[in-house]
Amino acid sequence: MNITDMLMHKNAKNLPPHEIHKTLSEAVMGEIAVDWRKSAVKYNRRAFYFSMEFLMGRAVYNNLLCLGLTDDIKKAFFDAGEDFTAMEDIEDAALGNGGLGRLAACFLDSAAAGGYPLDGYGIRYKYGLFKQSFENGFQKEAPDDWTRHGDPWSVRREEDAVLLEYGDMKVRAIPYDMPIIGRKNENIRTLRLWQAEALRENEFCFEAFDRGEYLRASENAVSAENISRCLYPNDSTHEGLKLRLRQEYFFSAASVRDIIKKHKQNGKTMQELPDYVSIQLNDTHPVVAIPELIRLLIDDEGFDFSEALNVSRKVFNYTNHTIMAEALEKWDIELVREILPRIYEVCLQINEAFIGDMYIRGLSAEKINSLRIVSRESSHSSRTLLHMARMAIYCTSAVNGVAELHTEILKTDVLNEWYELYPEKFQNKTNGITPRRWIALCNPALSGQISELLGDGEWIYDLDRLKSLKKHADDSAVISRFAAIKRENKKTLADYIKTHEGILVNPDSIFDIQIKRLHEYKRQLLNAFSILYFYFGIKEGRLKDFYPTTFIFGAKSAPAYTRAKGIIKYINEIAALIENDKTVREYMKVVFVQNYNVSYAEKLVVAADISEQISTAGTEASGTGNMKFMLNGTVTLGTLDGANIEIAEEAGAENNYIFGAVSKDLKEIMKSYEPRKILSEDPLIFRVLHTLIDGTVSDGGTGLFRELYFALTDGASWHVPDHYYVLGDFNSYVKAKLQINADYRDKRDEFYKKCWLNMASAGKFSSDRTIKDYADNIWKL
Ligand code: 26Q
């Protein structure tokens, strides 16, 4: 291709990275244009992934990789005297919070690679997830203006703009399309992201301007554009805010209309919609698409309500990603009535239809009341709530969890009553990750070794082929090369950390890494406590021969999640405490990297010796970071939670480090759990926990640490002390961690063998497998 010429022509040397990036991506967009256009019309039956979040990361290197252009372009850069790695300055598209958004991105990649007609619909936020820095150990947020230097991977499609009406305003939804290139094939999928803009006639009010009310003159435009201004940085608590509901309706309604428009352009009737279209709802965030479709069928197409409901049920499917009660979306019905008056009416009709069905089944009035889709908040509340998950289950064909344990918990616990009503709807779809980004791109050296052993690079599209690498686990030449690659990746990460955090880390120490959103249930605090335990042990001579370890954290906290922010500060204080201690610091180091994101993850998952997956059993729906580490040859230090269970099953529990209470026991355990008893009986745990209140570390007078302490001992807002069983699992966690430390120190070959076997067992966790399962058993593509 002529990108070489272009780089030469532009005299690239004088251009900043984003200009080179622009030139390069425009050239690539030109190359793929024909295939992309063809892909849009090629298929009959199609599926759509509706998601509030797509955590895409950086597009450029991935697109070159999938098109097989990396080597050519690298050479072109080299010939032009230009630095290929300079594009690492290009911003991630961080239009998501964490697991749920990254899963959506992996799914699109797998669909494109596997030749499936799946496209994504979402929101083109002006500001993605905030940028994080630490000031004095506290998290500080800054806006993420990710398109500041342009967005060359998107195409604005003015011709497909949609007009949307709220009870109190009208807005235009303008689509921007991003190509999704999974491999060098003809199947280029599309991620269509909607941007909110004012109607042209509302852009500016000259009457107000003439009155001298200059701000008011553009007020309407501002409130329209606010809808897609910013990603909500929460990933667990539902707050019921008006703007969030507007966002949910904004992209759901625009997408439904877009699908109907294309369907009609193909000359099909609305009765036939379920024959051609399947829509996957990524959690309840886009569930308002259901009443919107029903509304359109009734108001514009002359359907009666029950016909419309039937069409909806065949079109939509719902994925649940969380079991935590505070994340479940329940909207105040008065808010729905105010901003979406017609949707409100449809929701009431759905509720009535459901109640009618339940009476036909012979359920008691009391039971029906407890299940209503629209129901009173409680007997002593005047609020009435719209339960989005209930609506989702009632109005779809398939409901799925994201790992075996998670689906089991949905069926037997969280959604048990609904499972009993509709057992045929429930399925499991264990999550996956795309091997393109999560090994081929981020770990070229290991990918090269694998390709040599397997004869070619086709395993990237057929990850089960890794299985046949198990036979090399005892081949010392293979394992030492594998170890050398990991050592090199650790060195590269160490250099990066030096540049970006100003911290020196030793690549010959054990890299023990926990990277994920900051949450109490993910138990970064358990990790922190274990570090203090080792610190005191080394300092006081109890712990001998501790193999030097670098404990690395990466995590963003929701800006309003005070306790999570306290945990960040605490870990940063522990880092400083150790760094200031000459006797201990040669044995351990703590690094909390700033602004953990997809691009940082790519550098971290390839350089880990230990993957920390330590959520309280039964709380992490699946986890997908666990899979990224495994695929890159890392042992898991984990609880039997989410997909960890399946990881241990695939790789063998003996090749991982499993600890802690199991999910089925915890309900019983928590009934009589008294963390203060543990404190009184175990002086070492006492010592560690008391650092929160004894002045060992300081929270700068904020009271954050004291609050953490009382949450564990007496129970603060949860009314249950240590709700996530941190102290209960502490000893078995420390034991497992010391076991790894000793294994690494004394049985290095065995340790690397475990790592290798994890990589060779990771085939199941390709999102190619997950997508095939959705395509075969839900979308029926
Ligand atoms: C809801 C209402 C209002 C504002 C925000 C939200 C919100 C936003 C994001 C609620 C939840 C999320 C994200 C949840 C999430 O990322 N869940 C993770 O999904 C992964 C993919 O299935 C799993 O692997 C993780 O276990 C799960 O925590």
DSSP state of 94: E
Which of the four pLDDT bands, split at 50, 70 and 90, describes residue 13? low
pLDDT given at position 56: 98
Ligand 1 mean position, distance from CA 235 (Å):
5
Q: What is the atom index within ligand 1 of the atom nearest the CA of 101?
A: 16
Helices 524-539, 726-746: crossing angle, 10 deg rounding: 60
Supply the residue whose CA is at minimum distance from atom 21 of ligand 1.
Answer: 100
Nearest to 33 by CA among 155, 160, 176, 192: 155
pLDDT given at position 12: 54
Give the residue, out of 322, 428, 641, with the most ligand 1 atoms within 8 A of its beta carbon, to mutate for a pocket test: 322
Ligand 1 mean position, distance from CA 410 (Å):
15
The predicted-structure confidence for 312-363, as pLDDT tens digits, reads as follows 999 999 999 998 888 899 999 999 999 999 999 999 999 999 999 999 999 9
Cα dihedral 339, 168, 234, 100 sign: positive
**Mean predicted confidence (pLDDT) in 440-448:** 98
Residue 539 has pLDDT above 70, yes or no: yes
User: Rounded to an integer, what distance in angstroms lies between the CA atom of residue 230 and that of residue 749?
Assistant: 49
Q: What is the atom index within ligand 1 of the atom nearest the CA of 96?
A: 9
Residue 117 has pLDDT above 70, yes or no: yes
Which DSSP string corresponds to 3-65?
Answer: HHHHHHHTTGGGS-HHHHHHHHHHHHHHHHHHHHHHHHHS-SSEEEEE-S-EEEE--HHHHHH
**Mean predicted confidence (pLDDT) in 160-166:** 98
Which DSSP string corresponds to 491-553?
Answer: HHHHHHHHHHH-----TTSEEEEEES---TTTTHHHHHHHHHHHHHHHHTTSS-SPPPEEEEE
pLDDT given at position 2: 60
Answer for the pair 450, 466: CB distance below 8 angstroms, yes or no: yes
Cα dihedral 97, 102, 108, 112 sign: positive
Residue 275 has pLDDT above 70, yes or no: yes
Residue 124 has pLDDT above 90, yes or no: yes
pLDDT given at position 8: 65
Rg (the chain; Cα; Å): 27
Cα 322 to Cα 187, 247, 389, 666, distances in angstroms: 32, 21, 11, 18
Around Cβ 290, how many Cβ atoms within 10 Å?
A: 29
The predicted-structure confidence for 638-666, as pLDDT tens digits, reads as follows 999 999 999 999 999 999 999 999 999 99
Nearest to 126 by CA among 59, 196, 202, 55: 196
606 lines ligand 1 (CB under 6 A): no
pLDDT > 70: percent of the chain = 98
328 lines ligand 1 (CB under 6 A): no
Strand partners, 178: 191
Which of the four pLDDT bands, split at 50, 70 and 90, describes residue 10? low
Nearest to 311 by CA among 349, 272, 350: 272
The predicted-structure confidence for 516-532, as pLDDT tens digits, reads as follows 999 999 999 999 999 99
Residue 4 has pLDDT above 70, yes or no: no
Name which of 155-164, 215-224, 483-492, 747-756 the model is least confident about.
Answer: 215-224
pLDDT given at position 213: 83
77-86's contacts with Cβ under 8 Å and 24+ in sequence apart are: 77/7, 77/12, 79/4, 79/7, 79/8, 80/4, 80/7, 80/8, 80/12, 80/13, 81/12, 81/13, 82/7, 82/12, 82/13, 82/20, 86/17, 86/20
Q: What is the atom index within ligand 1 of the atom nearest the CA of 431?
A: 22
Around Cβ 330, how many Cβ atoms within 10 Å?
A: 18
Ligand 1 mean position, distance from CA 321 (Å):
6
Ligand 1 mean position, distance from CA 535 (Å):
34
Catalytic residues: 321, 516-517, 522, 624, 628
The predicted-structure confidence for 244-255, as pLDDT tens digits, reads as follows 999 999 999 999
pTM > 0.95: yes
Answer for the pair 569, 518: CB distance below 8 angstroms, yes or no: no
Measured CA angle at 75 (ends 70, 79), to 5 deg: 150
**Mean predicted confidence (pLDDT) in 605-625:** 98
Task: Retrieve residue 400's tokens.
Answer: 């799925």
Count of alpha carbons within 13 angstroms of residue 548, beta-carbon side: 11
Residues 6+ apart with CB under 8 A from 469: 450, 453, 454, 756, 759, 760
User: Rounded to an integer, what distance in angstroms lies between the CA atom of residue 683 and that of residue 690?
Assistant: 10
The predicted-structure confidence for 747-773, as pLDDT tens digits, reads as follows 999 999 999 999 999 999 999 999 999
632 lines ligand 1 (CB under 6 A): no
**Mean predicted confidence (pLDDT) in 612-616:** 99
Mean pLDDT, the chain, rounded, equals 96
Residue 1 has pLDDT above 60, yes or no: no
Residue 502 has pLDDT above 70, yes or no: yes
pLDDT given at position 229: 98
Ligand 1 mean position, distance from CA 96 (Å):
9
User: Rounded to an integer, what distance in angstroms lies between the CA atom of residue 287 and that of residue 334?
Assistant: 18
User: Rounded to an integer, what distance in angstroms lies between the CA atom of residue 346 and that of residue 373?
Assistant: 12
**Mean predicted confidence (pLDDT) in 506-519:** 98
Name the residue with tokens 């701000």.
215
User: Rounded to an integer, what distance in angstroms lies between the CA atom of residue 633 and that of residue 556?
Assistant: 25
Q: Are strands 316-319 and 277-282 parallel, antiparallel or unpaired?
A: parallel
Which of the four pLDDT bands, split at 50, 70 and 90, describes residue 202? confident
Q: Which segments within 182-245 are labelled E, that is strand?
A: 188-197
Q: What is the atom index within ligand 1 of the atom nearest the CA of 97?
A: 9
Which of the four pLDDT bands, split at 50, 70 and 90, describes residue 212? confident
Which of the four pLDDT bands, split at 50, 70 and 90, describes residue 717? low
Which of the four pLDDT bands, split at 50, 70 and 90, describes residue 175? very high
**Mean predicted confidence (pLDDT) in 118-133:** 98
431 lines ligand 1 (CB under 6 A): yes
The predicted-structure confidence for 387-423, as pLDDT tens digits, reads as follows 999 999 999 999 999 999 999 999 999 999 999 999 9
Supply the residue whose CA is at minimum distance from atom 11 of ligand 1.
Answer: 235
Residue 713 has pLDDT above 70, yes or no: yes
Q: What is the atom index within ligand 1 of the atom nearest the CA of 621?
A: 26
Q: Are strands 330-332 and 384-387 parallel, antiparallel or unpaired?
A: antiparallel
Which of the four pLDDT bands, split at 50, 70 and 90, describes residue 718? low
pLDDT given at position 203: 82
Nearest to 594 by CA among 501, 529, 684: 501
**Mean predicted confidence (pLDDT) in 4-31:** 83
Which of the four pLDDT bands, split at 50, 70 and 90, describes residue 715? confident
